[in-house]
Amino acid sequence: MRLSVITSNPGKVREYERCFEELGVEMVHVKMPYDEVQSSELEEVVRKGMDELKKKKGMSDFIIDDSGLFIGQLGGFPGVWSAYVQKTIGNGGILKLMDGISDRSAVFKCCIGCNLMGKDIIVTGTCGGVILEKGRGTEGFGYDPIFSHDGVRSFAEIPLDEKNLVSHRGIAVGLLKEEIVKCQASEDKP
């Protein structure tokens, strides 16, 4: 089985490749821009993105992923604006906004839209943690240096396999795999 991973972010592709290795699914990185509508819900962004890719671009058998970091004391910011915030003020800007704030809890969310064998599957995974006082580590991408799921090590300080076990994307992929297995089973029925 082959799935196109439609994203501009090679970090996501690395994570999907590792997650799907055991199912023998081949992941093909496709850089195809699509409209990410302004919405307060990751799921809505994904649903509309999938519609555009299927109807206007003729795509099938693909994955898209909309993720965000939601910081409690910042009213959920950067949330659905995470990509723009990462490109503009970056991790340093987030740390400045968090200066003097003691409750540093945050949630990473990942919504995956998968079109497979003519069916659409949408799943969401979350991972709670904290924003660290300083960025640490060199693994991963994006907000990984400033986010810690265990309050000790940042996502950029743990190996990819460990991140995939606990992360928002890893959890979402687990749910997706369950749906894919169901899909395969119904296709196999005589």
Contact residue for ligand ITT among 3, 4, 7, 122 (CB under 6 A): 7
Does 135 engage in binding with ligand ITT (CB under 6 A)? Answer: no
Q: Is 66 in the site for ligand ITT (CB under 6 A)?
A: yes
Site mask for ligand ITT (CB under 6 A), range 161-180, x = bound: ------x-x-----------
**Coil, strand or helix at 79:** helix
Interface with ligand ITT, residue 144, by CB under 6 A: yes
Looking at the Cβ atoms of 7 and 116, the one nearer to ligand ITT is: 7
Q: Which is nearer to ligand ITT, 7 or 148 (CB)?
A: 7
CB atoms within 10 A of CB 188: 7
* Alpha carbons 136 and 145: distance in angstroms, whole number: 5
Cβ proximity of 123 and 179 under 8 Å: yes
Minimum distance from CB of 38 to ligand ITT (Å)?
A: 12
Kindly calculate the radius of gyration of the chain based on its CA atoms and give it in whole angstroms.
17
Is the peptide bond preceding residue 78 cis, with omega within 30 degrees of 0? Answer: yes
**Of 38, 32, 72, which Cα lies nearest the Cα of 52?**
32
Among 66, 99, 161, 188, the one annotated catalytic: 66
Instruction: Give the strand pairing for 105-116 and 62-71.
Output: antiparallel
Q: Which of 109, 142, 148, 171 binds ligand ITT (CB under 6 A)?
A: 142
What is the binding site for ligand ITT (CB under 6 A)? 7-9, 12, 65-68, 82-83, 86, 140-144, 155, 167, 169
Catalytic residues: 66
